[in-house]
Structures are given as C-alpha cells and as structure tokens.
Chain A
C-alpha cells in the first residue's frame, strides 16, 4: 500500500516538474473577475483568445466568482499571499485596495493613446497615481411608462426637467388610480449622493476630507426633496411595495417613472407597454451616476509587464470593446463613439443617446477607506427618515457624527 502511494507521489512530482519546464516559454497571468460570471464567460474567452493570438508568449488563466462572494475570496487571496496578477475592482472598493499598497502603479506601463474617457481614468487614480484602468461604466436614468403619460394627458419628460416638473407629472399619473404610483426613486446612499450632486451645494465631506458636511442646509433640503415623493403619496413605501421590487412594479405598468440603471434595458425589453428613458431631472443642475469597474494589477505580481499588457487589452482594445457592446455585457469606458453605434440603434428605449448625455455630468460616490460602514450607516438613517421616525435634519446630524468617526 505504502509503496504504491510512494510511486503515485513520484509520478505527480515528475509531472509537475515537466509541466513547469514546458510552461517556461510562456508567461501565465492569473485574472480574477466578477463581471463575467456567470453570463459572459464565453465573451471573456473571446477576448482572452484574441489577446493570446496577439501575445503568443502570454497565457491568461481566468477564474471567476459572483459579485456577492468575489471580495471575500479576493481578500483571502491577498491575505494568503496568493493574489491574482490581474483582478477587477469596483470603484468603491478601489480606494481600500489602493490605500493598502496592494496595487501596482501602472500609469507608466500603459500607452498614452489608449482612448479612455479622461474622467473614467481619473476615477482610478489614488493620490495622483494610476492604480487601475477603467474597464466599464454604467449609469442611471429616468425610465418612464409612456402609456401612463398618454392616459394622464401630459407631456413626456424632457432633458430640461427639474424634480418639480417630475412631481407635477407624478401627481397627474397618481390620479389615474389607487394602485398606480407617480414615481419611484429609491431612498438609499447611492441616490442620495447623486441627488446631492443635482443640488450642487451638498457635499458629504469637506475638501480635505477631515470632516463630514453631510448635515449642511443643502444636504437637508436634498434629502427632503427625496422623501417628499413618499410623503406626498406619489411613491410607495417599502411596506406598501410589500416585497415587490421597483423593477417588478415598473414591469407591471403600475408606476409612471422609475429611477434605475441602464442595466435594466434588457429586462424591460418585453414590457407590455411603451416606455423610454430620459436623463434625470435636476434640482439645480444635472448630475448622473457614474458607476465604474476597473482592472488592477497586483503589487505582488511576478510579471508586471505581461499583467499590465493584459489589463490594457481587456479595458481599451477594439476587440474587447466590440465584444462587450455586442453581447450587451457592459459598456467600455472608452471615448470612441464608433464602438457604440450598434448599441445606440437598438430599441427600446428609443432615446438610448441619453446614456451618453448622462456622462456629460457624472458624479462618483464619495469614497473613504471604511466605505461599507459609511454606506450602511447612511442607509439605516435614510430609512428612518423615509419611515417618518427622524426628520431629515436629525438624521443627517447623526450621520455627520457617524461619518466623522469613520474618517482616519
């Protein structure tokens, strides 16, 4: 028995030696992704094949995990010193990784003429250093049920709308029936910092990030704008929704306007009514979400050049961009209108151009190292305002105390 096992062990060791010897001609890069899993692994493979064809000396080894598990697994890899050479990061987590010296400065390794959106490229700089490349972006628009607008006899939203115009339209739509709602715009952290951008005066932190200013009069009035939809009975409360999601509510034709992401285009494609999109209304000015995923190279990689080459190909090559757009994966963060022609022609929605219009006024989330704690603290307080347990002022005073404690 023991002798058999010994033979087996020798065989395994020999095999391992041979395979490393054979692999020495090519460099293997490990890439870890959440955005490809599970629907776009084949599309990712197309990009990998194209890259390997151009770089026969580099092999890309892909592993993937769903978003919910991804960061736990990535942390475990970092802790155990087994960090993948190249990996995806969303914008909110980027700062945490950059601040902990886990990322390689790739600014100098990327060609200067890679056609990134300048704003997107800036988003992945930390203290002036380029620690990741923008991979894809997404935004949020005002989706509207055109049939309900017709029934109410009112005009469709325009790009010049303010939230006062939207409230007026929502009131007209609400009047159509007890089970019809005027609009739905979630009461949460992400909506709040964006509407703060639409206010223009509300900032969560002061310029040098030493103190939270989330309880300023401008922020209080922004939050009041948000919860007034609910207080005026134009928007359902969580309990009134009873577990029905906002997108299910929209699909059932029971809400006039919905503020949600462009990733819902496909889910709404077969809606049994006419719908379209428009850039979001303003409070004082336009401001739209800019959600971005980036690709970073590990500071501990043994092959920085090969890793950076893959990161650049994945984020900015024409092949990668075309594959992403054609497969309705995510939109590449590139300033190349030609790549997006096919995307723009698809309907619904007819007004897809609004996606790029939104990019003219992007807001990125306030980011601190203790990001999840900030989001949870703000979310818990916003719910209390939505439920009428706290006034906007009281909630934001508490939020300021909580956020100050989270700053270094």
Chain B
C-alpha cells in the first residue's frame, strides 16, 4: 500500500464511508440532536418552537401520567424479564438434545418470533376475550370465573406479559442455544471421566460458560422492554379502562408527540427514558465481572 498514507488515505476512507455516513448523519445523528434541542423547547408543530429551558423536565417530574407509565413499565419488566430469562434457558436445554425431529420442534418454537405483533395481538385478544375466549373457557371448566383480561389495566398487564413471553421465548432460547453449542464437548468428557453427574455438569460447566450469553440476554431484554410499545398500543380493548389508563413510557411519548402536539415534552420524555436505560446498562456492565465467566478466563 505504498503512497496510501496521511491525507490521501483518509480521503479514500471518507469516500468509501460517505454513502452510509450520509444516511447515519441525516437520519440518526441529526434527529437525535434535534430531539435534544427540542427537549428544551415548547413546540406544537404549528407555531415556531419556543425556548423554555428546563420547564419540560420540571413538568415531567410532577406528571402523574408519566409516573404511572413508568410504574407500569417497571411492573411489566419485573414480571416479564425473569420469566422469559428462565423459560428461555429451560427451552434451550430441551432443544439442545439430540433427538429425531428436533429441527421441526426448534422451527416451531421460533414461529411466534417471526410473526408480527399485529397478528399476534389479534390472536391473543381473542384468546383473552372474557366471553368467547379460550382462557376463560378453560378456567370455567375448573370452576373459576376468569377476569375481564384486556379490559382492566392490571389484568391487561398480566395478559400482555403472558403474550410477550409466548412471543419472545423462542428468540431467547435461540440465543441460549447458540451459547450452549459453543461450549466445547471436551469439558463434558473430562467431567464424565471424573464421575460428574448430569446435574453437576449443568451446574459447574453449562451454566458458568453460558453466563456471557445470559449477560447479553439480560442487557438486550432490559433495553428492549424499557422501550416496549407494540403490545401496549395494540392489545387493550378499544375504549376500555385498560385502553384509557394502561400506558408505558413510549406510548406516552407517541401520544404526547402526535396526539397532543407536544413535541418538546415528548422529546424530554425520550431523553429521560434514554437516561434510565443508560444508567441501568452502565450498572449491568459494572457488575459483569462478578458473575460473567468467559471461556478464556
């Protein structure tokens, strides 16, 4: 690569990067910068933005709707994340067995993952229908009168947690499966020679060597579910209490931006959400040394 040094080299680097750099600057960096600026403004789209300093953040601090939305988001995460974390692992251990027909089973568990939320929510809305749905029919057979599920905020939250687990568990299992298949067979052979039982192998080989995958799963789950939107937007029954009261942070952002025309306020809300996610991810990264084992360690 004689002659390709200094300015000359960087020029070519820039030229080759330009097409994608242009897209990133225009569609990612510029909107992020604008939203940060808007967070300090009052803008209803129809009149020019008006600088209001920290007013949006001050209003957020005392906005009961925002705190309620944050509460529902946290409740959802507390119920959903540990469940899908454990169930995904259990499913992966099951799918990792070498049995005839396993490929078919693996494919089946992945189907809900590729289905769109619109389709999934239509199906589960019917399953959770208090009068015609499968769930309450099943409960009735064992003598329980089922709740109104997607009509009430609290039961709607449970219904959405169940639906989300069903939809995502295949994806989480796939991630674990990748981790499982990366663990070298030699460890298990050595353990067998030393007379380890299957439980001991699981506890002392599989789980420790799976911690990098677990770490990745935990981080992406938390990031994704602080930003959850689809199920909350789609699933509650129209005009019901759940529809009018169950909000998470991103549905609040969308409503404020596009129904209430409060672009500045919605931007401020997005930045608070960013700060929350950033803080949580930061803590997770700091704690990683305590429990994550990489194979090379």
A residues lining the B interface (CB < 8 Å): 72, 75, 78-79, 96-97, 100-102, 186, 188, 238-240, 242-243, 370, 372-373, 376, 379-380, 383-384, 386-387, 389
Contacts and interface: CB of A to CB of B under 8 A. Distances in A.
Which of B130, B131, B241 has the most chain A CB atoms closer than 10 A to its own CB? B241
Contacts of B130: 239, 242
A138 B241 CA distance: 28
A373 B262 CA distance: 10
Contacts of A188: 239
B46 A75 contact: yes
Interface of B: 44-47, 125, 129-132, 148, 151-152, 237-241, 244-245, 255, 258-261
B234 to A, nearest CB: 14
A220 to B, nearest CB: 20
A373 B131 CA distance: 32
Which of A96, A186, A239, A386 has the most chain B CB atoms closer than 10 A to its own CB? A239
B46 A238 contact: no
Given A238-B240, A243-B237, A383-B240, A75 B45 contact: yes
B47 A242 contact: no
Contacts of A78: 45-46
19 contacts: A75-B46, A79-B46, A97-B46, A100-B44, A101-B47, A188-B239, A238-B148, A239-B148, A239-B152, A239-B240, A242-B129, A372-B260, A373-B259, A379-B239, A380-B245, A383-B239, A383-B240, A383-B244, A386-B241
List the 9 closest A-B pairs by CB distance, nearest first: A242-B131, A100-B46, A239-B148, A380-B244, A383-B241, A239-B151, A75-B45, A372-B259, A238-B240
A239 B125 CA distance: 13
B62 to A, nearest CB: 10
A79 B132 CA distance: 47
A370 B260 CA distance: 7
B37 to A, nearest CB: 15
Contacts of B260: 370, 372-373
B-side interface mostly: loop
Contact of B241 (A75, A100, A238): A238
Contacts of A389: 241
Contacts of A238: 148, 151, 237, 239-241
Given A239-B130, A239-B148, A243-B129, A79 B45 contact: yes
Contacts of A376: 244, 255, 259
A42 B239 CA distance: 33
A188 B288 CA distance: 51
A92 to B, nearest CB: 12
Nearest to A379: B244
A188 B258 CA distance: 21
A372 B258 CA distance: 10
Contacts of B261: 75, 96
A389 B154 CA distance: 13
Given A238-B237, A376-B259, A100 B244 contact: no
Given A96-B46, A238-B239, A238-B241, 18 more contacts: A72-B258, A75-B261, A78-B46, A79-B46, A96-B261, A100-B44, A101-B47, A238-B151, A238-B240, A239-B152, A239-B240, A242-B131, A242-B132, A372-B260, A373-B260, A384-B241, A384-B245, A387-B241
A373 B240 CA distance: 17
A100 B47 contact: yes
A150 B52 CA distance: 64
Contacts of A242: 129-132
Nearest to B257: A72
B220 to A, nearest CB: 31
A105 B171 CA distance: 58
A168 B85 CA distance: 57
A89 to B, nearest CB: 12
Contact of A243 (B125, B245, B259): B125
A379 B242 CA distance: 12
Contacts of A379: 239, 244
Contacts of B237: 238, 243
A96 B44 CA distance: 10
A133 to B, nearest CB: 20
A103 to B, nearest CB: 10
B49 to A, nearest CB: 10
A75 to B, nearest CB: 5
